[in-house]
Amino acid sequence: MKKEIICIGCPMGCYLTIDYYEKTMLSISGNRCKVGLEYAEKEISNPERTLTSTVRVKNGNLPLVSVRTNKPLPKGRIFDTMDFLAEVEVEAPVRIGDKIVRNLFGTGVNIVATKNVVKKE
């Protein structure tokens, strides 16, 4: 089967045409580097995305701290993760890189802070 997707690996945004059978890629065109190749293979076998969002902070100078997954998450788990994060609250101070959630749903993915939030004065 043929499929057209846009590579999300960099701002270039190559238009990829992939020919695949079930979860195996048979051929690819349009990519300008190996990032596109790896992305296309993932897209037909097990699509993944890095998720960024926020979680609430108690006693912080900001009400929220921004967070991200430390590695890409299976695409199908994105909304579960959002529901899960809606219930999470952390106490200030928070530092960039702090692990907010470890081993999310047993996937081996951690949720880490992407911002410093200091204690409210």
In the complex, the residues that contact another protein under the rule CB under 8 A are 5-15, 32, 49-54, 56, 62-64, 66, 68, 75, 78-79, 82, 96, 114-116
Residue 26 or 64 with smaller CB distance to another protein? 64
Q: What angle do CA 103, 107, 88 make, to 5 degrees?
A: 45
The least CB distance from residue 16 to another protein, in Å, is 10
The least CB distance from residue 82 to another protein, in Å, is 5
Bridge partners of 49? 73
Residue 97 or 108 with smaller CB distance to another protein? 97
The least CB distance from residue 86 to another protein, in Å, is 9
The least CB distance from residue 4 to another protein, in Å, is 10
Other beta carbons within 10 angstroms of residue 41's beta carbon come to 16
Residue 25 or 35 with smaller CB distance to another protein? 35
Of the candidates 43, 17, 44, the one whose C-alpha atom is nearest the C-alpha of residue 30 is 17
Other beta carbons within 10 angstroms of residue 21's beta carbon come to 9
Instruction: Say how far residue 87 (Cα) sits from the centre of its chain.
Output: 19
